[in-house]
Each structure stands twice: as C-alpha cells, then as structure tokens.
Amino acid sequence: MPLLRITSPHAHGPMSTSRVMQHVLLATVPGIIVLTHFFGFGTLVNILWGGIVALACEALALALRGRPLAFYLKDYSALVTSTLLCIALPPYAPWWLIAIGVASSVLLAKHLYGGLGYNPFNPAMVGYVVLLISFPVQMTAWAPPRGLGEVPGLFEALLACFSPASFDAVTMATPLDVLKQNNSLLLEDLWQENPQFGRWGGIGWEWASLAFLAGGLWLLYQRIFTWHAPVAMLVAITAMAGMFYDNGSSASGGSPLFHLLSGATIFGAFFIVTDPVSSAVSTRGKLIYGAMIGALVYIIRVRGNYPDAVAFAVLIANFTAPFIDYYTQPRTYGHARKGDS
Amino acid sequence: MRKIFGFHGGIHPPENKHQSLEHPIRDAGIPAELIIPVSQHVGAPAAPCVEIGQAVLGGDVIAEAIGVVSVPLHAPTSGSIAAIERRPVAHPSGSEALCIVIDTDGEDRWRSLEGVEDYRTADPAQLLERIRECGIAGMGGAGFPSAIKLAPRNPIETLIINGTECEPYITADDILLQERAQRIVEGAQIIAHIVQPQEILIGVEDNKPEGIEAITAAAAGTDLQVVTFPTKYPSGGEKQLIEILTGKQVPSGGLPADLGIVCQNVGTAVAVRDAILDGRPLISRVTTVTGDAVSKPGNFDVLLGTPMAHLLHLAGYDERKNRRLIMGGPMMGFSVPTPLAPVVKTTNCLLAPTESELPTPPPAQACIRCGMCAEACPASLLPQQLFWFAQGKESEKLEAHNLFDCIECGACSWVCPSHIPLVQYYRASKADIQQQRKDQAKSDYSRERFEARQARLEREEAEKDAKRAARKKAAEERAKAAATGEGEEDPIQAAIARAQAKKAAQTNEGSGESELEKLERAVVTTQKRLDTAQQKLSAAEAEGSDLVDALRTGVEKTQSKLDKAKAALAEHQANHSEAPAAAEEPPVDAAQAAIQKAMQAREADAQKSPQEKARDQLGKLEQRLAKAQQRLADGRAAGEEDKIIDALSASVDKLREKISETRAQLAETESA
C-alpha cells in the first residue's frame, strides 16, 4: 500500500460541527423542562413537530441542490434551528403555523442563501418574524402559566397542534404585553393587579430564563462560544433599563431585573445572539454586536409596536455584522497598533 | 524568577511524548549506503566536489557551499562515492533531488579534526567561518545557515536557546537537554562569544521536568538563565518564544535581529560546540522515531543520509500498520513519499502513526464561523475570514487580512469543528499571490521596456525629421542663390568644388571616425544585451522557469547579432586603416579594392595565433566575471530576494567555470 501524502497539520482536535450542534440542543433541555412544567406539553409538541418539518425541508433542499443527504443531515443544524424557533413560539400553536415558520427558517433563510454557513440572518429569527408579521393573533396567544389556569395534558397538546379547531385554547397576556399596554398604573400597582408578573419577570418565564441561563453557562464552559456577545447584550439591556427605570412610574419601561428575566432575553443572549454564522466574529466585534442587540431589545420593547423584540433586534444587528467585522479586525502579530508607527 | 509573557491563541493537543522517552539515545550505526542530498538547508544547494568511485574519509568535504546563503556537506563516515544522482528525498514538494551516495566501508576512518584551542580569545569572524565550514544549518526545522543568523546587522541584546519543542510526539530536543546539557551550555557560550548578548536565555516548556533539571544543573554558575513556561502549542515557534520571553513581537516582515534578539535551537548549539571545540562537522543528529506503527520508539543518534527505512527498522517498524510517514511532528511535519528517503539536517522526528492514531481527515463541512480558529491563532489572524477570501481568490482582501503573517502552525485546522483544511488553503493562496506578484513584476518590466523603445524610436524619428528639414532648407537656399545668380561662378564648377570638399572632409575626419564609433557602440550595446540575456537565462534555469526556451532563443539571436556587429566593425577597421593608402593608389576598380581589403582583414585575423585568441577571450571573460561579481555584491547590498541572489551567484560560478576552461585551453595551446 503506497504511503498517503497529506500536508500538515496531520492531527485534529476532538471537536466537530455535529458535536457543536448537539451541545446546543442539549443545553436547551433544562429550559424546555421548565417551560413544560409551567405551560404544559405545548412547547414539547412544537419542538417535535418542528423537528420533523425541519428535517423534511432540509432533505428537500439538499436533494434539490444535489448535495449528499446523509452527510449534511447529520450536522444537526436544521434541528437546532427548528428547536430554537419552536421554543420561541407560543405553546399550543397550530401545526401549520409551526410548519410555515420552520419552512421559512430552513428554506428561505438558510438554503436560499447557500445553506449552512452562508446565511446572513439568523434562520430561527427569520422564521419567527415571518410568523409574527403574518399571523399576529396566533403569535401572541400565550397559554397561562401553571397556577393561573388549567395546564393541558399531552393529549390536549397534540390536539391543539394537529386539530386546532377542536381545541379550546385558553390564553393570557404575557407580562411584556401587559406592561406595554399600561399607561395609567404605577408599576407597583400593575404587579398587584396582574398575577402573571410573578416575582421578577413573570411566572414561568423567570424560571425558564434561569434554566436557559444554566444551559448557556454550560455551553460557555464547553467553549462552544465566548462570553463576549451574551454578556455585552445583558449589560446593555440592564444599563438601558436602569437608565430609564424612573422608580416605576406608569410611563416606566420596567426594571432591569424585569427585562433580564422576562420574555426571551436570556434565551436570546445565549442561544440566538451566539449564533456564529450570522454574528460578528472578532472579539471586539462580538462586544459591539451584543451590546447593540441589548440596546435594540429595550428600545423596541418600550418604544416599538411589539411587546418582545429579540427577533427584530437580532435581525437588525445581523445586517451590521459584516460592517462591524470590517472595523474590528484584531491587531495581527508583529503589526503596529493603530496610531503607532 | 523572570517574568513570562503570554501569546494569543494556541492549543493543547495530546502531547504523546512519553512513548519516545523511555530509552536513552541509541546509536543508529552505519548503514550500508548513505544518501546525502546537496540541499538540506535554506539557500543555494551545495556543489558536489567529489567524483564517483573516489574514496572519502569521515569529515571530508563532499560538496562545497555556493554563495553566501549555503553550507558545505561532509562525508559522515569513510567509504567511496557510489553515485551522484537524483534520489527521492523528504521535501514538501515530494520530488527527487540531487544526492551524493556513499557506499560505506564500516571502518569509520576519519580525517584528522582540529578544534579551536581557546574560543574565548578567538576572533568571532573566524568562529563564524568555522561554523560555516562545518556545514551547520538550523536544526529546529527550517535549516537556515547558522553562520548567517549569527552575524546579524544589529547588536544583540538577548540570545535565546530554544529548547521548547512544542510539537507533539517529538522529543529530540528534550533528550538532548537530558543527556547532553553540558554540551548545550558550552555551545550557548560559544554562540554568546560570537554575538555578545546582554543575556542568554534557555527557553523550555514545563512539560520536560527532567530536561529542565539537567540543563539547570549544567547552567549553574554560568550566565545562562533557564526559563520555563506553561506548555502550549506553538510556543516553540521563534516569534511566539520571543513574545513569551521578552513580551516583544517581531515586526511583520522583519527578523528577530531587528529587536536585538537571536534564537538558536538546542541541537544547533550542540552542533556549534562540536564544530568549534572538536572541529567536527555536522554529520549526524538526534532524531525521534515514534508513532504506533513502531514497536520500539525512541531517539537515535543517526548519520545524515541514513535511509529512513534503516532507522525505522531499528525502531521496530511495521509497515502494514502505517499509512503515512511524517517527517517532523503531526502539526507542521510533511508526509514522506517513501521510507527510502534519507535523514537530513532538519529531520527532528520520524512519525509513523497508525490510521486510528492520526485518522485520514474526513470531508470538510461548511464553515459556521464559530471563531474557534480565531481564538486559536497565535498570530491573531481571522482564519475564518481568510478562508472565505481564499475560496473567492480575493488576493487583495487576503493581503489586507495579513495572510503573509500566517506561520502555518496548523492550530486553526486543529480546532476547526468542520474539519476544513485551512492551512492548505492559506498555503495555496500564498503561492498564488507570490506567482501573481512575479507575473506583475515581469509584465511591468516588459511594459517599461516597450515604452522606452517607443520613446527612443520617436526620438530618432524626430531627429531624422529635423535633419531632413535642415537639408531641405539648405538646398532651397542654394537653389535660391543659384537662381538669383549670386556668385558669378559657373554652377557646375561650384558643384564639383562642393563634392570635392565633401570628399576631402570625409577622408580627413568626420564621418569615417563616427562610422567607426557607431560600429563600436553597436558591438558594445549588443554585448551588453547578450550579457543581460544570459543573466536572465541562467536565472530562469536556476528557477526552472518555463521561459527557459524563449530566453535561450533570445540569447542565440543576440549572439548572432553580436557576431555580425563584430564582423562589421572588423571590416570597417580594416577598411579604414587601409583607407589612406588606398586613396594614394591609382583609382582602380572599387569592387576590386573592396575585395582586396576584405582579404587583408581576414589575413590579419588569421595571423592572430589561437593563443592570442584565447587570451582575448580570457580577458573578455574576466571582465564579465568582474561585472557579474559587482552585480552580485550590489544585489546583496540591496537585500534582494534569495532567488535573485542565487541566480546571480550561479552566473558568477558559470563564468568562473568558463574562465577556468579557457585557461585550460590556453595552457594547452601554449604547451603545444
């Protein structure tokens, strides 16, 4: 047998793209468990159905593009996209809503741009925004958390998904909705009148956020991503909320803790902002990119038309990523610092 | 404790060093055949100076250094020269190269060696010459001639002896630290005597506790400082080591000497010590043989030129287990085409891994821009961006993102989760850009030449026009004068007088002389053009360029032009010297006269003895040699690229050869 001729390096580290994706999926598990505990099986059904649609769309796109199916399907990237999208969707969403959202993510946002690695926008957030703009009623119908209403069982969850007409949905405004609509009550009174606010960021949401934080920290520990973008985002949102808190008047935007633990802040910081493909890549770039998303989330939540804003903020920041990268190249070894000569 | 600085990035691959550290250094013995490539260093290959069948003793010079950036080669043991031919060698290009093959006699007889008595009182220049004569080139991997590195243009503050050895598997430097620490220290002191640094540091990674202990003991009581630092690949890279030890970064495109720093590998220090104290040339080295395809891994003291197969056999090589054979480590080594290739000065390791140990890389997945490569890059590059640009062949962007600061350490490829062969992309892009630059320079040169020619033609045309206009004007004036009847002479008489005057003027001075000058000038310029053409041809030959044929035709054409121009000149000279006599002779037939003249010229030429001819040629050649040497010196002074310097020195050598041939001919004719 002739000797192989390969150029260096000959050794390779243990990491692979499939493993990166598997890690991300695994890190969402605590959050999914908490969501299921508070809101019932809706999220789980979303994720399972979304996963099936995602793999089908991925296979279709790969077949149309003439790529090897098995090789690309096992990179888990489609499953990550659909899982992240389905976590963000309201539980007990009808099957077609999920299908449209996932198909938009995988086909429109990913494969039309050239597949994995070539998408300028975060696919899950593209799918989310498509749904939010097209079906605002279904997208804002969140179930009440455990304690404030009946939590449906698994069968009812399947019924809600695949036979929406026969499911009698109970919905409740989310804390972000309530805060958005408020223009007369002091925050203290608002908290008194609306039980869903919970302790800090809303019953259910605050615990789910902490669970996603745990998953995110584990990913950080596994060196799947660096701390820069998530921390920058959280610092920015805290700073913005702190600056405009005004001690809880009726015009207040809400406390920093409320903004951190409500809605998709933590989930977004560790699972959406860290999407490497569509974000800035240099260290300084990640800081700018994360901070920008944090600030935008606050601005859109408080001043915009939508109660939550992670998806819009991320998509807007995606536009700026190449520009940020251009201006934040690290100083190469042996090159003078800017300004030195 | 000295302050240690970090460097950006780096990785921690499995070290795999213990396998080859279980035994002390073993002697690989004398194989039946030694294959010694003439190019084992950076720079011009050495020129063989032995003949087939010639008997050699150990330490005899078998190939001489050509030019400054070159070192000679020595016979590693006694025997006879069996062949000087192309053999497969371990080189990234994977091709064959000229080798001197020695059939060893097993007796290991040596020419007498003589060390420098007291290097402390010796002139550094003399020591450098000795280092060069002993064929020492960097033994860490690159193989740069040490004598040049040790003669930097700036004063040296810090001498760094590199015992880092950060590549996985390799333990050649580690075992040297353990077993030959005293010799490393002596070598370092000799090098310090040459470069006169303020401080001498020996840098070692902290994964070599035994080596550190040994070298610390050996360095006790000297001005050498052993500095240890945490293990991280690639801290043994020259640039990284300098940053770790001094916190300074070598400027992009610059040399460590620009910072007042010089680095030498521990193996090189030992070689320097042996050369200076014992007079022993570099004919052996310590090589690690390891990998799961050998059952007895370890370090060997091996003669240069030993076929790798011989060494592998000693280590218990099982070729059925081995799919690729690597010279160097798993990060930066290159695969060897055949185990018949010889061990050379830069062979620090032979790695024979099994397929499960270093699996064949799987197909690459898409880049997800995860940025792990950027975190690992010791040069603080953005490998993912470089990859993007390399795919799009965007040369300008690649250069703007400092592609040429990539040291090809492989850390980015190692961490890449998508298994993208990043370093391979960068290597290909570098080669492309270098080719583009070369092409650009070539086309710029052609354009300049074309424009210069165009300008010259225009100028000449303008001059001709001016002359024509002047003549026309003069004629008109004459016509006017004739018409107005100015001057009462007969116009015909006047014309005759003018013609005579003109003839007289021609014979006396003017046009005859200028004709001669013109011809001489033609010869000189054609000669110059021929010289440049030959220059280019030899440069192209040295580089193995595709243009060789075209250039050769050019040279031939110019040669024939030169011959014509010389013939014309000779004829003219002959004519002219005969001219006064001819003028006095009765007006014979002009054609007859010409024939006569030509015959006389030929006779004059024929009267020159072959000896004279040879002497003339010798003179000319010597002039050309002087010119070529001048050019070489200028090139060196201007800091031209190695390639150009090589080409220039090659042409100098060619001229020298020609001169010696001509001298031989001359001697023959004289003795005849």
**Residue type, position B122, single letter:** A
Q: Which residue of A has its CA nearest to B360?
A: A10
- B406 among annotated binding-site residues: yes
Contact A334 B252 (CB under 8 A): yes
Contact A11 B168 (CB under 8 A): yes
End-to-end CA gap in chain B: 78
- B263 among annotated binding-site residues: no
* Residue with more model confidence, A235 or A306: A235
Mean pLDDT of A312-319: 95
Residue B282 to chain A, least CA–CA distance (Å)? 28
Longest dimension (CA), chain A: 83
- Pairing mode, if any, of strands B349-351 and B326-327? antiparallel
How much is the pLDDT for A340? 46
Q: Which residue of A has its CA nearest to B169?
A: A11
What are the chain B neighbours of A1 within 8 Å (beta carbons)?
Answer: 323
Q: CA-to-CA distance for B37 and B97, rounded, in angstroms?
A: 7
What are the chain A neighbours of B238 within 8 Å (beta carbons)?
Answer: none
A293 pLDDT tier (thresholds 50, 70, 90): very high
What are the chain B neighbours of A15 within 8 Å (beta carbons)?
Answer: 372, 415-417
- B377 among annotated binding-site residues: yes
How much is the pLDDT for B665? 77
- B166 among annotated binding-site residues: no
Which among B11, B351, B363 has CB closest to A13?
A: B11
Residue B98's nearest CA partner among B81, B84, B115 is B84
What are the chain A neighbours of B419 within 8 Å (beta carbons)?
Answer: 12, 16
What are the chain B neighbours of A281 within 8 Å (beta carbons)?
Answer: 369, 371, 374, 382, 384-385
DSSP assignment letter at A308: -
Residue A116 to chain B, least CA–CA distance (Å)? 6
Residues 406-425 of B with CB under 8 A from A: 408, 410, 413-419, 421, 423-424
Q: Which residue of B has its CA nearest to A122?
A: B368
Q: B233 and B12 in contact (C-beta within 8 Å)?
A: yes
Residues sharing a CB contact under 8 Å with residue B456, sequence separation 6 or more, in sequence order: none
**Residue type, position B448, single letter:** E
What distances in angstroms separate CA B7 from CA A11, A237, A284, B232, one per listed residue? Answer: 22, 33, 18, 10
- Pairing mode, if any, of strands B79-88 and B55-56? antiparallel
Residue B357 to chain A, least CA–CA distance (Å)? 9
* Distance, CA of B85 to chain centre: 21
Q: Could you tell me if B238 lies within 8 Å of chain A, comparing CB atoms?
A: no
Q: CA-to-CA distance for A35 and A31, rounded, in angstroms?
A: 6
Q: CA-to-CA distance for B261 and A5, rounded, in angstroms?
A: 37
Q: CA-to-CA distance for B206 and B277, rounded, in angstroms?
A: 31
Residue with tokens 């002479």: B489
Whole-model pTM: value is 0.73
| Cβ neighbours, 10 Å, residue A229 | 30
Q: Could you tell me if B276 lies within 8 Å of chain A, comparing CB atoms?
A: no
Which among A1, A9, A16 has CB closest to B414?
A: A9
Residue B508's nearest CA partner among B579, B589, B597, B601 is B579
Count Cβ neighbours within 10 Å for each residue of A163-184 and write b for 16 or more, e otherwise: ebeebebeebbbbbbbbbebee
Q: Could you tell me if B664 lies within 8 Å of chain A, comparing CB atoms?
A: no
Give one DSSP letter per residue of B2-46, joined into a string.
Answer: ------S--B------GGGGSS--EE----SEEEEES--SSSSPP
Q: Is the pLDDT of residue A338 over 70?
A: no
Q: B301 and B25 in contact (C-beta within 8 Å)?
A: yes
Mean pLDDT of A208-215: 94
Contact A8 B333 (CB under 8 A): yes
**Residue type, position B535, single letter:** Q
Q: CA-to-CA distance for B32 and B90, rounded, in angstroms?
A: 20
Q: CA-to-CA distance for B315 and B23, rounded, in angstroms?
A: 11
Which among B92, B252, B330 has CB closest to A11?
A: B330
Contact B417 A19 (CB under 8 A): yes
Residue A276's nearest CA partner among A116, A128, A127 is A116
Strand partners, B335: B326
Q: CA-to-CA distance for A328 and A300, rounded, in angstroms?
A: 26
Q: CA-to-CA distance for A47 and B647, rounded, in angstroms?
A: 69
End-to-end CA gap in chain A: 56
How much is the pLDDT for B289? 95
Residues sharing a CB contact under 8 Å with residue B565, sequence separation 6 or more, in sequence order: B519, B522, B523, B526
SS3 B68: coil
Strand partners, B87: B97
How much is the pLDDT for B227? 94
Angle of helix B172-179 relative to helix B209-219, nearest 10 degrees? Answer: 40
Q: CA-to-CA distance for B474 and A128, rounded, in angstroms?
A: 95
Q: Is the pLDDT of residue A7 over 90?
A: no
Contact B424 A7 (CB under 8 A): yes
Residue B514 to chain A, least CA–CA distance (Å)? 58
Q: Could you tell me if B69 lies within 8 Å of chain A, comparing CB atoms?
A: no
SS3 B305: coil
How much is the pLDDT for A339? 47
Residue B544 to chain A, least CA–CA distance (Å)? 23
Count Cβ neighbours within 10 Å for each residue of B43-75 and write b for 16 or more, e otherwise: bbbbbbebeeeeebbbbbbbbebbbbbbbbbbb
Contact A116 B370 (CB under 8 A): no
What are the chain B neighbours of A336 within 8 Å (beta carbons)?
Answer: 251
Contact A330 B374 (CB under 8 A): yes
Residue B369 to chain A, least CA–CA distance (Å)? 5
Strand ranges (E), chain A? none
Q: Could you tell me if B169 lies within 8 Å of chain A, comparing CB atoms?
A: no
**Residue type, position B194, single letter:** I
Q: A49 and A98 in contact (C-beta within 8 Å)?
A: yes
Q: CA-to-CA distance for A70 and B365, rounded, in angstroms?
A: 12
- Pairing mode, if any, of strands B224-229 and B199-205? parallel
Q: B61 and B289 in contact (C-beta within 8 Å)?
A: no
DSSP assignment letter at B307: B
Q: Could you tell me if B141 lies within 8 Å of chain A, comparing CB atoms?
A: no
Tell which of A1, A4, A12 to mutate to test the B interface (max B CBs under 10 Å): A12
Residues sharing a CB contact under 8 Å with residue B477, sequence separation 6 or more, in sequence order: none
Q: CA-to-CA distance for B96 and B75, rounded, in angstroms?
A: 21
Q: CA-to-CA distance for B273 and B187, rounded, in angstroms?
A: 4
Q: B227 and B201 in contact (C-beta within 8 Å)?
A: yes
Q: Could you tell me if B340 lies within 8 Å of chain A, comparing CB atoms?
A: no
Contact A13 B13 (CB under 8 A): yes
Q: Could you tell me if B251 lies within 8 Å of chain A, comparing CB atoms?
A: yes
Q: Which residue of B has its CA nearest to A278?
A: B369
Residue A26 to chain B, least CA–CA distance (Å)? 17
HSE at residue B352, side-chain half, CA atoms within 13 A, is 28
What are the chain B neighbours of A115 within 8 Å (beta carbons)?
Answer: 366
B361: phi then psi, degrees, rounded to nearest 5 = -60, 140
Q: Could you tell me if B577 lies within 8 Å of chain A, comparing CB atoms?
A: no
Residue with tokens 């009462």: B488
What are the chain A neighbours of B359 within 8 Å (beta carbons)?
Answer: 12
Dihedral Cα B391, B394, B395, B397, nearest 10 deg = -110
Summary mean pLDDT of chain A: 87
Residues sharing a CB contact under 8 Å with residue B25, sequence separation 6 or more, in sequence order: B175, B179, B286, B298, B299, B300, B301
B86: phi then psi, degrees, rounded to nearest 5 = -80, 130
- B373 among annotated binding-site residues: yes
How much is the pLDDT for B40? 85
Per domain, the residue ranges of chain A are 15-172, 173-326
* Cis amide linkage into residue B234, ω under 30° from 0: yes
Q: How many CB pairs under 8 A join A and B?
A: 166
Q: B315 and B343 in contact (C-beta within 8 Å)?
A: no
Tell which of B354, B370, B403, B423 to mutate to test the A interface (max A CBs under 10 Å): B370
Let me know how long chain A is. Answer: 341
DSSP assignment letter at B302: E
Query: Average pLDDT per run of 10 along chain B, which is 672 residues long?
Result: 87 92 92 92 88 92 88 93 91 82 92 88 90 88 85 89 93 94 94 92 93 93 92 92 93 89 93 93 94 94 94 91 90 89 92 90 88 91 91 90 91 93 91 89 90 92 92 88 64 70 62 69 84 82 74 84 84 66 51 74 66 78 86 80 80 86 77 63
Q: CA-to-CA distance for B337 and B579, rounded, in angstroms?
A: 73
Q: Which residue of B has its CA nearest to A336?
A: B251
How much is the pLDDT for B585? 47
What are the chain A neighbours of B408 within 8 Å (beta carbons)?
Answer: 8
Angle of helix B181-195 relative to helix B209-219, nearest 10 degrees? Answer: 60
Give one DSSP letter per residue of A40-84, joined into a string.
Answer: -THHHHHHHHHHHHHHHHHHHHHHHTT--HHHHHTT-HHHHHHHH
Residue A287's nearest CA partner among A232, A337, A236, A333 is A232
Residue B646 to chain A, least CA–CA distance (Å)? 27
